[in-house]
Amino acid sequence: MKRKPLQDSPLQVDISDIDLSPGPFCMSFNFDLEPLKASIEGFGVLNPPYLLRNSDTDTHFTVVAGYRRLLAVRELGWPDIVCQVLPDGFPPFKALLLNLHDNLVHRHLNNVEKGMVVQRLTRFVKHEQIITQFMPMLDIPANRQTLRLFLGLEDLEEPIKASIAVERLSLRVAGLMMSLGTEDRLKINELFIALKWSFNQQWEAIQWITEIASREGRSIEEVINDREVTEILHDSRMSNPQKLKDIVKALKRRRFPSLMKAETEFRKGISALPLPKGVKISPPPFFEGTDYRVEIVFTKGKDLRDRLEKLSHLSGLGKITDFWRGPECR
């Protein structure tokens, strides 16, 4: 049985006749056209774009695949380009799959683009099929919670989506941001892209910030605009890593004032002890519980014996559990 051709014959199409707004099949976001323009200038368009004829708009064609190629040739000043025009009545779902596979073959989609794909798939298939069939294809954990996260990305503001696309903002953090207002979301994004936060630091910080705002009856924007944080951010004498370290400390101190006071007092007390080299004493996690930990680093058994002997004669060990307690508890 002879298969029906996917497209009509190649057609020379005027750029002005193509709708170059992001259409129903577009899955491109936050891209740099310069490398593509350089390639097209040197070697031409190696893979022609795919178009559908338009009958109800001012432009004659809708882009199915090759959106970035078309933008590149427009910027290069080309008046027209050879395209593959799909037959009239070509199914929209099939057109979306054509673009998806065209993209997956040639490049890696960023997380915002993956969100665009699943959002467009909801027009044609149920969530269960997206989870079982398409999310593995997109290298996304195949579960409902992750699907909801990716579907929500399209509703975020452009600066936030740009941060997600270049992996400056954690997806988990973006999920928490979805329940916040626009101004609060933008302020959190601004803070996180100002310095190089790790995703774990972002996760902790956004929870501290929202908890501080809730406890103090203030907006998230007000918490981030606090004088201490602002002064650290604008201190030209500090390096960015030092700024980040100090902002984390400031937020943690504000969220856990008693814990931070205990840590400070404990470190002060331990530093006053002449501990042998290679010996470290740690408090219980979060100063909850009664068990302290001693870590001894040694090379030979003799080193261990010497350090244990010095520890056994060290005055002040009995006060370790009292360093961080108030006078009323001592």
Question: 25-80: per-residue pLDDT in tens?
Answer: 999 999 999 999 999 999 999 889 999 998 766 668 999 999 999 999 999 999 99
User: Residue 79, CB half-sphere, CA atoms under 13 Å: how many?
Assistant: 0
pTM of the model: 0.76
- Check if the beta carbon of residue 169 is closer than 8 Å to that of residue 202: yes
| Sequence ranges of the domains in the chain | 273-329
CA-to-CA separations, 250 to 141, 222, 282, in angstroms, rounded: 35, 14, 22
Element (H, E) at 263: helix 257-271
Task: Categorise residue 30: left if φ over 0, alpha if ψ from -120 to 50, beta otherwise.
Answer: left
Take residue 209 and report the two structure tokens written for it. 């910030």
Lowest mean per-residue pLDDT among 10-24, 192-206, 277-291: 277-291
Among 68, 63, 71, 69, smallest CA distance to 24 is for: 63
Task: Return the DSSP state at 255.
Answer: H
Q: What is the pLDDT of residue 328?
A: 45
Split at pLDDT 50, 70, 90, the class of 321 is low
Q: What is the pLDDT of residue 75?
A: 95
Question: 118-161: per-residue pLDDT in tens?
Answer: 999 999 999 999 999 999 999 999 999 999 999 999 999 999 99
* Sequence-distant (≥ 6) Cβ neighbours of residue 95 within 8 angstroms: 25, 50, 52, 64, 86
Task: Categorise residue 86: left if φ over 0, alpha if ψ from -120 to 50, beta otherwise.
Answer: beta
